Structure formats: structure tokens, C-alpha cells
């Protein structure tokens, strides 16, 4: 019997599917805010009179604090109860969204976005933890299918919804409604969550490893800060922080082992990586995949809006087929993961790589303003593949994680994905701009080369998934033999 099976509740909560709908609505809102603000930056700069570099912190600041608080949020949920942490974090997210929308100047807006990212990072791990608590067996795969659709679709549709809101509310202050729409959604989610989420006691101890949290936070900060500042020369100025991150990460691991030896609950139990089958491989797949696929959205926005003269709304529509394919396939893949396992992820990654490679080829053919139509089918194929990656990978990565560590495990997984997002966005944008600078104004070539780099990263994830599939077969065979 696996740890997750031992920890599974004997009697399923009859409200579990309604509770899942509420948590995913809130999760969609927090993840959407990672990407939706990109299209509003020009309006924000014009309305608040901000310099481009300073305004970029509206996006970068959110991504930074979001990534910093994920693991701590997971640990707090494990220790203090996921329902309590969900309600606290969602309340903070709604309040900071209103503060962001009401910002009279850029400083106010950046501080509000930093706080909003912190609340979003505390909120997100509760979603995967609650799934571990509420579901077991094949139902858990279906629930993670919904979760995977939430993650994938929120990332892909951000530019579409941002462009739509700006089109409806107009300039100069239409950007404020990108934040204000969180208020009614959040209030409804709060009321339903208070009613539906179970107040189930956690198996973890209530003491919090503050030193570990500070060390891990400093490590993640040292990794993310140069990346989120990449467009402002962060990589060339702050490269030395990566070496600092390595040193801090080593200190963090030493401290966590020392904490465990003293009989206290560490922030991150290192047995997640050393003794939990499939977790390390799944985290690696997530890191590599998010490095490849999330960076393409900024490149697409630059290509369509600057290179082809699309409006933000048109640019968002051009990549909508990916979101549609991902939403459908994530739900289907979640139902099939119990039967086919890692094979679904392998096929999904192959479809993503193939679809993006075809888009790169079409870009080189130079169909001009009709490019959005030409790439619709391969983007749909890539989206179908993407939906078959996130939810099965999440399910399999967390399958053998004990429920007492479900929040931390989900937080670590999400942190890897946020780091992958930052790495991919910085890398692909730098490649796009470098090719564009060297070729004059050959936007199709710049897009094709950037997409080729994205395909290479997705192929790394594919290799890791294939390796894990072989390892899972060996483990299953050993378990059957032992039985």
C-alpha cells in the first residue's frame, strides 16, 4: 500500500466536487494574474506616467513574491489546516487586488502587486493539498485533471482576457478593471469556500521552521530576481546571484536535515526527493516543460503586436486554439492517467514539441498578417498536448506523497514551475530580441528561432518523462513481485 493510499479518507466528502470547483475558481484567478497584466502595461505606463523599466515591476514583482511564498504556503497549510490558509490567503488576494486597481501612482501599484503575489503564492498550494485530502484512487486523477486545466488555461488565456477587458473598458483607466474583476469573483469564492471546504485537522505539527523558510526564500529570490529583471539587464548585472543561490540552497538543505534530526518538523522534508518514488522526476518534468511552453506567450505577443501590427485582442485570439485544446485534453487526461500513467505525458510532450515546430516552420514561410489563421491547427495540436502534460504529471508526481506533506509537495512543484516560467520567459525573449537585432526586422525568423529553443526545452521534459516511465514500470513490477 502506498503512502497516499494509507492517508486517503475512508469516507469521501459528499461535497468534494463542489469544493473543488470553488478552489479552482480561486486558483484560476491567482494564476491568471501572472500573465494577464502583460497586455495592460502600455496603458498603465500612459495613465500613471511611468518609465518602462519601472512599470515592468508590476509584472515582475507579482511573479517574484508569488514564487517566494509557495513552499511556505504549503507548509502553513499542512501545519495549520488548508481551509484556514485558503480563506486567509484568498481574503488577502481580494483586498490587494482592490488596492492595485485603486492605485493613484506606480509606487502604490507595485507595492499592491507585491502583496497580491504573496497572497497568491500562499493560496495556490492549498489547491493541490485539498485534492490530496478530498480525493483518492481514480477520482484523484480526475480532480488533478481539473487542476491541470486550471493551470494550463489560466496561463494561456491571460493575454486574451486582458485584451478583452481593455477593449471593453477602454483607455486610459481600463487597466484598473483587470484587478477589480477579482473582487466579485473572490467574494463569491470566499462565501462558498467557508461553507464547503472541510475543517480537517492536519497531520503536521503546528511549529513552523522560520529559519528554513527564510533560507529557502532567500534561495528562490536569488534565482528569480535576475530572471524577472532580464529585460532590464538583470542577467548581465546580477548573474552572481546564481552562485549565491547555490550556497544558500546548500545551507537550507543542511538546516532542514538538522531540524529533522532534532525531532522538529522541517519546512521541507527531504524525503520528498530521496524516498518518494516519482516526485523528483515529476518535478524535473514540470520545470523543463514550463521553461519551454510559458516563454512562448511573450514572444508571440511581441511578434503579433510589434511585428504584424495586431491589437492586444487580436494577438490573444491568435493563441486561443492552444488554450481550447489544453482545456479539453486536461480534463480527459485526468480521467485516463490511472490507466495509462506516464505514457499520457510522453505523448502530450511530443504533441507540444511537434505543434510548436510546425508553427516555427509556418513563420519562416512568411504568410504575413494571415499568420494567426495559418497557425491555428498546430497551436490546437500543441494545446491538446499541453493539457495532457500538466494534470497527469501533477497526479503522478504527487501520487505517493503522504497527505501530511501534500501542501509542501504541491508548493515545491509549483515553485519549480514558477522558476521554469521565469527561465523560459527570460531565455526566449532574449533569443527573440538577439535574432531581431542581428537581422534588422526579420520578425518571422526571430519567432522561429525562439520557438526552436522552446521545442528544445520541451524535448528535455520529454526525455525525463520517458526515463520516469521506464522507472515506474520497474517499480510496479517490483511491487507486484513483492505482493
Question: What does the DSSP assignment read for 344-412?
Answer: HHHHHHHHHHHHHHHHHHHHHH--GGGHHHHTHHHHHHHHHHHHHHHHHHHHHHHTTS-GGGHHHHHHH
Q: Cell numbers 529559519 label which residue? A: 211
pLDDT digits (tens, 9 = 90+) for 114-163: 999 999 989 988 888 888 888 887 788 788 778 877 876 776 677 778 87
Residue 201: predicted pLDDT: 54
pLDDT digits (tens, 9 = 90+) for 242-293: 899 999 989 988 888 888 788 777 777 777 787 788 888 899 999 999 988 8
How far is the C-alpha of 109 from the C-alpha of 463, rounded, in Å? Answer: 42
Angle at 279 between CA 450 and CA 383, to 5 degrees: 35
How far is the C-alpha of 116 from the C-alpha of 39, rounded, in Å? Answer: 18
Residue 156: predicted pLDDT: 65
Residue 90: predicted pLDDT: 95
How far is the C-alpha of 109 from the C-alpha of 404, rounded, in Å? Answer: 37
Outline where DSSP puts E strands in 214-257: none
Contact between residue 31 and residue 24 where contact means Cβ atoms under 8 Å apart: no
Tally of residues, the chain? 483
Residue 385: predicted pLDDT: 94
Outline where DSSP puts E strands in 53-98: none
List the domains of the chain with CATH numbers.
3-208+267-482 (1.20.1250.20), 209-266 (no CATH)
Phi, psi of 341 (to 5 degrees): 60, -140
- Give the relative orientation of helices 342-365 and 279-293 as an angle to the nearest 10 degrees: 20
How far is the C-alpha of 435 from the C-alpha of 445, rounded, in Å? Answer: 7
- Three cell numbers at 183? 473582487
- Three cell numbers at 429? 525573449
Tens of each residue's pLDDT in the chain, 483 residues = 444 444 444 577 788 899 999 998 888 888 788 778 877 777 888 888 877 667 778 877 887 888 888 888 888 888 888 899 999 999 999 999 999 999 999 999 999 999 999 999 899 888 888 888 888 877 887 887 788 778 767 766 777 788 788 888 887 788 899 999 899 999 999 999 999 998 765 444 456 777 888 888 888 888 888 877 776 677 778 889 889 999 998 998 888 888 878 877 777 777 778 778 888 889 999 999 998 888 888 888 889 988 898 877 788 788 889 888 887 888 788 778 878 888 999 999 999 999 999 999 999 998 889 999 999 999 999 999 998 998 788 888 887 787 777 777 888 888 888 888 878 888 888 888 889 887 668 899 999 999 999 999 999 999 999 998 887 765 554 443 444
User: Among 380, 394, 460, which Cα is nearest to 427's?
Assistant: 460
End-to-end Cα distance, the chain: 10
Residue 152: predicted pLDDT: 67
Q: Answer yes or no: pTM beyond 0.95.
A: no
Residue 344: predicted pLDDT: 92
Amino acid at each position: 500500500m502506498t503512502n497516499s493510499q494509507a492517508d486517503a479518507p475512508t469516507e469521501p466528502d459528499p461535497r468534494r466536487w463542489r469544493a473543488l470547483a470553488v478552489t479552482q475558481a480561486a486558483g484560476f484567478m491567482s494564476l491568471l494574474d501572472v500573465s494577464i497584466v502583460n497586455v495592460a502595461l502600455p496603458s498603465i505606463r500612459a495613465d500613471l506616467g511611468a518609465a518602462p523599466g519601472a512599470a515592468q515591476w508590476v509584472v515582475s514583482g507579482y511573479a517574484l513574491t508569488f514564487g517566494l511564498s509557495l513552499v511556505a504556503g504549503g507548509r502553513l497549510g499542512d501545519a495549520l489546516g488548508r481551509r484556514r490558509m485558503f480563506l486567509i490567503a484568498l481574503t488577502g488576494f481580494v483586498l490587494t487586488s482592490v488596492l492595485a486597481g485603486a492605485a493613484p501612482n506606480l509606487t502604490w501599484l507595485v507595492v499592491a502587486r507585491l502583496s497580491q503575489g504573496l497572497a497568491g503564492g500562499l493560496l495556490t498550494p492549498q489547491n493541490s493539498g485539498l485534492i490530496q485530502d478530498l480525493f483518492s484512487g481514480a477520482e484523484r486523477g480526475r480532480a488533478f485533471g481539473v487542476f491541470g486545466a486550471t493551470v494550463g488555461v489560466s496561463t494561456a488565456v491571460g493575454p486574451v482576457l486582458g485584451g478583452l477587458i481593455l477593449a471593453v473598458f477602454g483607455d486610459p483607466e481600463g487597466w484598473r478593471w483587470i484587478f477589480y474583476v477579482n473582487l466579485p469573483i473572490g467574494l463569491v469564492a470566499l462565501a462558498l469556500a467557508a461553507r464547503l471546504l472541510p475543517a480537517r485537522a492536519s497531520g503536521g505539527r503546528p511549529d513552523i521552521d522560520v529559519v528554513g523558510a527564510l533560507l529557502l526564500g532567500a534561495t528562490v529570490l536569488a534565482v528569480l530576481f535576475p530572471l524577472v529583471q532580464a529585460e532590464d539587464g538583470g542577467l548581465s548585472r546580477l548573474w552572481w546571484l546564481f552562485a549565491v543561490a547555490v550556497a544558500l540552497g546548500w545551507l537550507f538543505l543542511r538546516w532542514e536535515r538538522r531540524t529533522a534530526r532534532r525531532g522538529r518538523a522541517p519546512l521541507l522534508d527531504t524525503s520528498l526527493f530521496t524516498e518518494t518514488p516519482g516526485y523528483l522526476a515529476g518535478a524535473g518534468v514540470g520545470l523543463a516543460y514550463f521553461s519551454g511552453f510559458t516563454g512562448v506567450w511573450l514572444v508571440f505577443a511581441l511578434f503579433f503586436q510589434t511585428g504584424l501590427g495586431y491589437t492586444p485582442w487580436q494577438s490573444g485570439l491568435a493563441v486561443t486554439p492552444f488554450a481550447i485544446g489544453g482545456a479539453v485534453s486536461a480534463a480527459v487526461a485526468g480521467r485516463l492517467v490511472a490507466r495509462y500513467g506516464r505514457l499520457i505525458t510522453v505523448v502530450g510532450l511530443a504533441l507540444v514539441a511537434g505543434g510548436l515546430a510546425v508553427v516555427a516552420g509556418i513563420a519562416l514561410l512568411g504568410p504575413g498578417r494571415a499568420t494567426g489563421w495559418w497557425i491555428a491547427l498546430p497551436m490546437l495540436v500543441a494545446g491538446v498536448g499541453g493539457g495532457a502534460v500538466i494534470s497527469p504529471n501533477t497526479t503522478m508526481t504527487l501520487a505517493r506523497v503522504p497527505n501530511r506533506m501534500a501542501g509542501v509537495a504541491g508548493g515545491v512543484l509549483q515553485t519549480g514551475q514558477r522558476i521554469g516560467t521565469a527561465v523560459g520567459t527570460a531565455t526566449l525573449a532574449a533569443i527573440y530580441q538577439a535574432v531581431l537585432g542581428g537581422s534588422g526586422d526579420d520578425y518571422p525568423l526571430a519567432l522561429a528561432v525562439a520557438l526552436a529553443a522552446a521545442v528544445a526545452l520541451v524535448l528535455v521534459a520529454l526525455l525525463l518523462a520517458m526515463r520516469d516511465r521506464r522507472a515506474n514500470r520497474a517499480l510496479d513490477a517490483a511491487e507486484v513481485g513483492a505482493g
